[in-house]
Structure formats: C-alpha cells, structure tokens
Chain A
Amino acid sequence: MSLPVIMAALPFVTPWIFGAGAMATAIPIVIHLLNRRRFRVRPWAAMAFLLAAYRRNIRRLQMQRWLLLLLRCLALLLLAAAVADFIPPGAALSTLVGGRRRLTVVVWNDAYPMAYRPAGAPSVFVRSRRLLEQWLATAGGNQRVAILRGSSYTAPLVNWPTRDLAAAGQLVRRQRVTQAAVNLPGGLRSALRLLRRARRRLGRLRVWVLTDCAAADFGLAGTSAGGRTPSSGLIPDRSMAWHHTVSPAPDPQADAKKPEFTGRVGSVPRRSIPAGATVRLMGRLIRAIRKLGVKVKVIDVGDPHAATLAVTALQTVRPVVLTGRRVDLRISVLNATAAPQAEVVVHLLLDHVPAGSATIPRLNPGETVTVRVPLDRMIPTPGAHAIEARLLTAALPVAGIRRLAVHAVRQVRLLLVDGQGSGGEGIGEFAAPVGLIWLRAALAPRRHGNAFHPSLIRALPLADVSLRRYRGVILSDTEAPGAALVGRLRRYVRSGGLLMIFPGPGFDSARWNQALGVGGANLAPALWGQVATAAPPRTDGQGVVHFDLHSSINFLTAPFIAAAQSGIPTGLDRISTWRYIRLNVLPPATAEVLLRFTNGWPAVVRRWVGRGTVIAWASTCDTQWNDFPVQPSWLPMIHTLLYHSLADRNGGRNLLVGSGINRAGTSPAGIWSGPGGMAVPVRVRSEAGAMRLVSGPLWQAGFYRPVGSDLFPENPQPLQTTRITPAAPRSGAAQRRGAVGAGSEDWAAPAERGGGALVAVNINPADADIRHVPPARVAEELGLPSQDIVEHPRTLGGLTATGAGGAIGYWLLWPALLILLVEALVARAFSHYRYGQQAATPGPRPQ
C-alpha cells in the first residue's frame, strides 16, 4: 500500500498532520537517548550511599523513567491527534471523549437555483450534498444535527436534533434538488425556533447556511458588469415565502414598449415589499441567533461564474383567450449573466407544437426585457390549452422554460339588463330592450365571429338568471336591486364577475347607494348623487360637457386611447354629454376614476372587489343623455374597457411551485397526472358553501391534467435536449390545421384537442438571478464577520477552530494538556528536588 492510501485510511480529518505529530513522538525518546549520552563524570566520595540507594530503588527508577517517557509520547500523540482532528470509529468513543453535546443546525438551500451545473462539474446541489454526506459520516457521537431546508419545499428533512447521523446521512444522500423557491429566511427562522428550544439541553450550538450565495438568495442584485444597474424588488408569493425579482432601472424610452394591458392571464398575485427586505430579514434572524451565543457560518458552495438566462414571465395580453383569434403573449426574459446577450431567441409552443419565436436583440446584464409576441397559430378549439416559452440557451434549464395554461372560449358571454328601456319587440318583460341597442351593437357588431356574446333581458327576470354563465353583467337604468339580488351580485363580483352600471332617467341614486353602498353590499365604486345637467362654467356654449382625457387616469394603454392622449383624433374628445349623475368617488384606495368630464366630475369609476370589478358610468349607454353611442369611438372604448376590466379566470390554472390546485368545481376529481407521470390526488372540498377542487402542494414544474383526459400528451423529452427546428408539415391535413412539423420530435399532436382541465406549474421566477454575490458583500449585508463566510470548503470538518462536527480533536486537546501536566507533576514528584534549596554559600576562603 502506498503512503497516500495509508494516510487516507487514517481516521483523521488531516492525516498528514497526525503523521507529522506521530513522528514528533520520537522527540522524547531521542532526548532521552541524547541525555544518556551527554552525561558528566564526577568523582564521588560517598559512593557507598549512592550504590545502596541505587540498589534499593532500581525498579522504581526504571518504572518512573518508562512512565515519564510514555506520558511524554502519549501527550505528543494526543496533541497530534487533536490538531489532526481525530475521527473516532464509533459513537461510543465520541460520547466518552466528546464531553458536552453539540448541535449543528444546517440550513440547506435545495431550491432550484442550486441545480446550476458548471461546465464539467457536478451541480452546486450535488457538491453541497457531498459535503454534508462526508461531514455526517465523520461526525462524532456527541454531535447532534438538524437539517432544515432553505427553500419553500415543505417536506421535512431533519427538523429536530438527532444523534442518528447515519440515518441523517442516508436521508441527505437521497435528496434531490427541488424546484421550490429559495427561502433562506424561513430556514433561519426555523433554526432560531429550534435553537431556542434546544439551547437548554445542548451545549455547543452552531448554524451553517449551506447555499450557493446567489443574488436571489439574499434579495441582492448580483454582479452587474456594465449596462444598467438593476433595481431590486422583493415580493412574496401566495405561500408568503419571500422572493426576489430583478427588473431594469426605469428607461425613459420604455414607455414606448409598454403593453396595452398589465398582464392578467398567467400572472400571480403579488404584493411588493421594499427592496433589500430579504437580506435585512436574514440579518435580523442571524443577529437573533448570534445573541443566543450560536455561531453562524454561511458556507458558499456556489459557482462564482454562475449565470443563466431565464424566462421570468409568460402572459396573454388580453384576459380572455378566444378561439380562432390571434393570441398575443407577453414574455419577460432576464439576463442573469455578467455580459450583454444579443439575439436571444425565445421559442413558443402551443400544445407542445412549435408556434413561433421571438428574438430579443440585446439584453444587458441584470436586465429584464418584456416583449410582445403573437402566436403563429390560432387556438382552434375552446377548452384548456398549453403554451410554453423556451430558452434553449439557458444554463439553468429549469429557468429556461415557462408554461401557461389557458382556457380558450369562443366568445365572452355578457348579460345586458335594461331597466327602463321602452319600445322594441315583444310584450312586457319579453319586449326587446331598446336602451341597450347601442351597447349590443358595440359588443356584437357582426352576425358571426364576435368576441362578445351579449344576452339582453329586461330587469324583471334578472332574479332568476344564473349569473355564473356570464363573465359580465351590465345594468342599464335598472331599479336598485333587492336584498336577495344584492347578495347574488356581491358573490358574483367577488368570485370574478364584472358588474357595469349605467344610469338612466329612472335611476334612483338613493336606493342604489343604499343597496350597493357601504351600508349595503359595499360594491359601489362611488356614491350616486343628483342628476346634473351640463352647464357653465366649463361648457362650450352648447350645454354639453366633454371627456377630459388629460386629467383622466392613465390606465388605458390600448392604441386607441394612447392615440387619443397623443392628440390623434379618435373622437373621444368630441363626445358631448348634456346630462349625468354626479359620482362621489370613494377613497382612492378602493376606487379609481377612469374618465373625467371637463368640469371635473367623474365619468367612469371603477372598483376592484374581490376578484371582480364594478364599473359605474355617470351617463347613459344610449343617446338619451349623451352622444357617445353614436360616435366611432364607442365600440373601441367599450371593448377596451371590458378587456381591461374582465377578471382573469385562468389564475387558478397557473401556479407557482409549492402551490396547490384550488379552483371552483367538483370535477374532474380523482388522480391527476403531473410531469413524468407523477400521480397527484385531487379531491373535492366544500369551502364557504362552494365546492372546490383542491390538491396538495405541487412541487414539480409542468402541466398537470386529469388522468385519461383527452388533452395533448406531455412532451416526454427532457427540456435541455429539446431541439426545435422548423420543418415542413407532415400532411396536408396538418398543414390545413396550421400545425408546424418539428425535428425528431412528434410534434404532430392534434391541435384540435382541448377542453378538460389543465394546470400549469412554474418555478418562481424571482429566484432566477443566480449570479454569485461576492462573500465580502454577503458578510456586509448580513452583518457577519468576513471569516464566517466560508468559500468553497473542501470539507465541512475544518470550518471551526473546534474541529469537525464529528471529529473530537478539540476534546483531545484537554487530555493532552492534562497528561503534560501530570507528566510535570510526576517528574517533580519523582525527583523530589527543590531547586530553591541549594546552598548559596561557597566554601571557606581564608584570607
């Protein structure tokens, strides 16, 4: 066996040090031998006494000599073992020697950024797992360990201190990197809670944060090389785990790129929190932990050159996806690298079939660019459909793909209710409401192929109509609803319905305020006041008032409105209103004025209630009080307003990893199939009187659908190996359907499929910034000494002066020093020599 092999077999963290120390044990022997050679020769008179003393004590002297030699060698050997960090073969010895019990709490980041794999090396997560495995295998018997996740993944690892390090090691060995979001504050908070409970029973405590030190871990902007400095923002997802997003600094020219709508489909409700909150929270938690006398070390296992591109958002531009119409998507791409990226191509797939691509000409470091891209193919059938955006150049594959589940409909059903309209076909309640003719004409201008499908009724049957069938209910000059209808409307709006109210001659403001005001259903965006006739001071001399576009809120960004605001004639500025109801707007936090009249009174007020919207108009939707319905701008205005205000019903279909299915309905319950054929049980649960489909948290990104559904199949190929190359359609039928063939994959899935249920689960894009943060900055931000940031350790054993968690080198120092003390005492006791008792007086010197 070679020397390195032998040394590696020695149970020491640093066997070479022990080897050197073991050789040092020869020092006392050499000194002893040298002393025996370096004697003095002295004539002696009282030799008889010396001989007698020697004969009587020869055994004792020999024993003392060997004992001292043994003690000296043993002390040196123990010192060598202590410095080399001895690892006892069994727990018993550690227990015997180790003294006080120790607890190491490891906050282990197993979120998806840890899956980053540098070229030719294992992933960051695998490296961290090896470190943990190695340390657990060598930890001593007195070492207790708790391993907490630094991600939002909720499955427990070792949440309570255990001495069974072998079992913990096996558990660690089985771990795979999750697709959960980073949640180091959560791990630290759990560690703090655990330490407070365990502090009384365990002596030495320490916390290791094992992470890749990516910018997203701490909510910090990573290393930005040139370009614009990214600004940070921290937002929580639905599970209230804190995440971080990076967005570019405000660009003066970015307004030109602004989309018409803020994203609705596929977006996740978030609440913005101040920048740097994550790192501040971590700092507070670390300070609290350190106040307990616990040492905290951040172990950086990340790659200093970690970088990737990531698709951070995929949304439809409009809240509703209509079959047979073009679908516009908004795609956001983050450049989490240190260098500008040019010609970044994002591939789009509809139902796993290539459906176009978008090219971003330039991406600066740390910059997120949002582009609007139309799908090449139209959605042919109503029902569930899957849309994907893929970046084939993403170094972190899981961040290079984003999924979107949409529910396509042929038309948006709206219910139009006319209260006081007269004339029309039919008798009584069945007479056609003429007051809504203009509105119906705007919503359904064509005989076929309209985006909206308005259903017109009189006010009377409203109490019996099922509102759930309609995305919106528009009331025109109706009487104030009764208590029962108010309750239904309230539930309808809160569940995502749109309620639009037009006044009319028969409109009773007081009763409406009583029904929908604060004392009633609390749905009203404004309190309705008296009917006003347009009059000075701001009339144009014709007794009318116009819309004041410049003082209206800049919420509508459709080209039509934008053009009007830019001074391009759209007709909006020529609309005359000669009668209206004065709307007293509620506080701005709950309602917003979309349009104002030139005399300052609100013309259109909107309020979000629950998941739905309530819009109050100040004037009628016919030509009794204004001429808007007869103007060309009437139709685009109504369409824009509806697209902007309709609730997104696809929100429950697009989740982040860690969220569970929770949507209204009772079917299809049972087993759903996830990515890789994963089975997910989905059950029906009653919530507040409504039946809902619910499941546990979904921890894998991908599409989930009921087993046996007639939906398109999941792409079986791994993401990173997918190669999309445009090719000719396989058949004429497919060509007629618009399907595009592709490479070696079977992209010929029938595009007509659809319907059924579909849920898309995506990773949290907030953690996509995997750029490495320098340790000095981490230390500064967390308020830790720089030596507590450990960069890329080869082993966890040498992290502290007290040696490895399992090694008992620190404890061997004490017996070694004790033996040295004993040796000194024994040597002194054996010699019985008193150095201070020598006679200082010399012999007589006669003068």
Chain B
Amino acid sequence: MSSITTQDYRRYLNPRTLAKIAALDLRARLIVEGFVSGMHRSPYQGFSVEFTQHRPYSSGDDLRHIDWKVLGRTDRHYIKQYEEETNLQVLLAVDASASMTYAGQANADWRKYDHAISVAASLAYVALHQRDSVGLAIFDARLRRLLRPSNYPSQWRVLIDELTTAPGAAKTDTGRVLEEIAEEIRRRSLVVLISDLLDDAAHIIRGIRHLRHRRHDLLVLRILDHEELEFPFHAATIFKGLEEPTQMLVEPRALRDAYLEELRHHAAEIRTACHQLNVDYWEVDTSVPLDVSLPGFLADRTARMK
C-alpha cells in the first residue's frame, strides 16, 4: 500500500466540488436502518417528531400518546404514531479492475480509477458531514477489501488510504462481487457502485437484483473515459485489451459506429434493469469536471425524492 500524502488528498478532493455538494444531502431514496437518529427515514416507527398516522387504541398502549383532541371531537381513542429518523449506512463499492486504469490521450495521467476515487471521496465527505456511516468495498474479479461503515471523522482518511492502493490487473466480475456484498452487509444500506461496468450486463444485473432483494438502496455510477464514449480515433490502431489478452488492428473510423452501438446497447440494458429495480443509474464522463457532474446528479436525485 502506498503512503498517502496531503497532496494526494487534494488530488481527489476538489474544494470547488465540495463547496457545491455540501449544500446537498446524500439522501437514501429508500428506508434504511440506523442506530442513531438522523436525517433518513427508518423502518421503525415510534413517537418522535414526524407524525405519520393515527391508530385505534389498544390495551397496553401508553396513554401519553392518545390524541385527546380526536377523543374530544369523536369520542373515540386514537393513538398518534410518529416516524423515527435514523442515520444512513453508505457503502462505496469501487471497481479497481484493470479496465479502470484506462486514461485518455487528453489526460493520460487521469485514469478512470482516479475519477472513481474522486467521486467516492466526495460522496464519503458528504455522508460523513451529515453524520452518516460510510463503508468501502474495493473489488475487481472478487471483493478485495471491505471496510465496515463508520461515522468516525477519521473514516474518510481511512477510505482514501484504501482507495489509493493501486488497482489490480484482474478482470472485473461485478455481478459476483455485488452478490458477495449483499451477503456481507446485514443492515439495509445505500450501496454506491462506482465502476465502468465493462462486464457482462446480465451478471451485473443479477448482482444489482440481489442487492435490491436484500432491500438495499443502490446507486450506480458508471465511470467512462471520454474516448470510450466517443471513440475519436483516426489512424489505424492496434487496440490491446486491458483485461483481455487480445489485440486487434482496427480502422477506427470504419468501426466507430459499430463500437458505439455496442456500447449504447450495453448501457441501455443496464439502465433499463436499474429503472425496473428502482436503482439510480448515472454515467460519469471523466472529461467532465466533478464540480459539474456530481452536484447535478445529487440535485436530480434529491428532486426525485420529493
């Protein structure tokens, strides 16, 4: 594991980005479980601040919760119920496979993995800022590292230290990893999948479905380089696979449309499945600065929850 310096933190945490997303909450769209009261809806209902409903009084209920006003008007006994708020457990699942090491010509030193770290760091910062617990899962073909969620202030630094570990050279098996994560975490949590999803779509969908089956809220952030999205090459090029041991001489202009069609088809398949499973899906272009893309995503998500 490489040592992380102060410079390294600044590399992945842009103050301008933080300034823009600080005002936005990283809210769970679904009801999640928590140990302490927080800003997220809990599946447990009690007698707290947020009124939810009335129910008929039954013997053994605390008389303090009888709604006397209703009794005065209707001569019936009703108990007032309140929704309990809890804190959020966020698990950042970051893809560290070989394909994430790709960097475009324009920014050869800015890999997709770097962009993924930046996203994860920003989200972790926001979550910790709102006193939610943040965990981390680093995976490639299998789950390499799993940090249990914690809301300690030092958790952010721990996360960054783990993320800056160089990614492996293995292939991705996102579906299997998601299933593994689903088995590992007990409480209903917000799982943020940060990956390029360059894997079999069916496997990925199966993993997402497994997570959803365990009632986890899921957020998929697909990190792709601009060149992967546009394929803007002219001259004949030998493409060497980062995860596959194959190479191929291609006339890029002749194959561009077909490649983009394949890419769109793959993305559409995952996007459709996410939509059906009530999972947020967002594509992140590494050429778009985070202070543009991330606030937009969070604002959109917040708006949809209201």
* A interface, CB within 8 angstroms of B: 35-36, 38-54, 56-57, 61, 64-65, 830-833, 837-839, 841-847
Give the distance to chain A from B230, nearest Cβ to Cβ, in Å: 6
Give the distance to chain A from B8, nearest Cβ to Cβ, in Å: 11
In the assembly, what is the distance between CA of A830 and CA of B257, in Å? 9
The 4 closest A-B pairs by CB, nearest first: A53-B258, A831-B253, A843-B107, A47-B241
Q: Are A831 and B107 in contact (CB under 8 A)?
A: no
B232 within 8 A of A: yes
Q: Are A842 and B107 in contact (CB under 8 A)?
A: yes
Q: Which residue of B lies closest to A39 (CB)?
A: B236
Q: Are B238 and A832 in contact (CB under 8 A)?
A: no
Q: Are A38 and B235 in contact (CB under 8 A)?
A: yes
For B263, the chain A residues whose CB sits under 8 A away are 46, 49
Q: Are A46 and B287 in contact (CB under 8 A)?
A: no
B288 within 8 A of A: yes
Known: A831-B253, A844-B290. A53 touches B261 (CB 8 A): yes
Give the distance to chain B from A396, nearest Cβ to Cβ, in Å: 73
In the assembly, what is the distance between CA of A57 and CA of B254, in Å? 9
Q: Are B228 and A45 in contact (CB under 8 A)?
A: yes
For A54, the chain B residues whose CB sits under 8 A away are 248, 250, 255, 258
Q: Can you report 5 residue pairs joining A to B where beta carbons are below 8 Å apart?
A: A43-B239, A45-B228, A47-B246, A846-B13, A847-B14
Pair count A-B, CB < 8 A: 150
Give the distance to chain A from B132, nearest Cβ to Cβ, in Å: 24
Give the distance to chain A from B265, nearest Cβ to Cβ, in Å: 9
For A841, the chain B residues whose CB sits under 8 A away are 287-288
Please indicate which of the listed interface residues A35, A38, A40, A47 has the most CB atoms of chain B within 10 Å of its own CB. Answer: A47
Q: Are A45 and B99 in contact (CB under 8 A)?
A: yes
Q: Which residue of B lies closest to A828 (CB)?
A: B253
Given A43-B241, A44-B242: 15 more A-B contacts, CB < 8 Å: A42-B233, A44-B240, A48-B244, A49-B263, A51-B246, A52-B262, A53-B258, A53-B262, A56-B258, A65-B251, A831-B256, A832-B257, A844-B115, A846-B10, A847-B15
For A830, the chain B residues whose CB sits under 8 A away are 253-254
* B interface, CB within 8 angstroms of A: 10-17, 98-102, 104, 106-107, 110, 112, 115, 118, 196, 198, 225-226, 228, 230, 232-244, 246-251, 253-259, 261-263, 266, 285-290
In the assembly, what is the distance between CA of A53 and CA of B259, in Å? 5
CB within 8 A of B254: which of A35, A56, A831?
A831
For A847, the chain B residues whose CB sits under 8 A away are 10, 14-16
Q: Are B253 and A833 in contact (CB under 8 A)?
A: yes
Q: Are B235 and A48 in contact (CB under 8 A)?
A: no
Q: Which residue of A lies closest to B98 (CB)?
A: A45
For A839, the chain B residues whose CB sits under 8 A away are 226, 230, 232, 285, 287
Give the distance to chain A from B294, nearest Cβ to Cβ, in Å: 11
Give the distance to chain A from B116, nearest Cβ to Cβ, in Å: 12
For A65, the chain B residues whose CB sits under 8 A away are 251, 254
In the assembly, what is the distance between CA of A843 and CA of B254, in Å? 26
CB within 8 A of A40: which of B17, B237, B241?
B237
In the assembly, what is the distance between CA of A222 and CA of B259, in Å? 80
In the assembly, what is the distance between CA of A841 and CA of B229, in Å? 14
For B107, the chain A residues whose CB sits under 8 A away are 842-843, 845
For A50, the chain B residues whose CB sits under 8 A away are 239, 248, 250, 255, 259, 262
For B98, the chain A residues whose CB sits under 8 A away are 45
Q: Are A44 and B255 in contact (CB under 8 A)?
A: no
In the assembly, what is the distance between CA of A837 and CA of B231, in Å? 11
Please indicate which of the listed interface residues A45, A47, A832, A838 has the most CB atoms of chain B within 10 Å of its own CB. Answer: A45
Q: Are B288 and A45 in contact (CB under 8 A)?
A: no
For B244, the chain A residues whose CB sits under 8 A away are 47-48, 51
For B288, the chain A residues whose CB sits under 8 A away are 841, 844
In the assembly, what is the distance between CA of A276 and CA of B288, in Å? 87
Known: A46-B198, A838-B230, A843-B106. A61 touches B251 (CB 8 A): yes
In the assembly, what is the distance between CA of A50 and CA of B228, in Å? 10
In the assembly, what is the distance between CA of A334 and CA of B48, in Å? 140
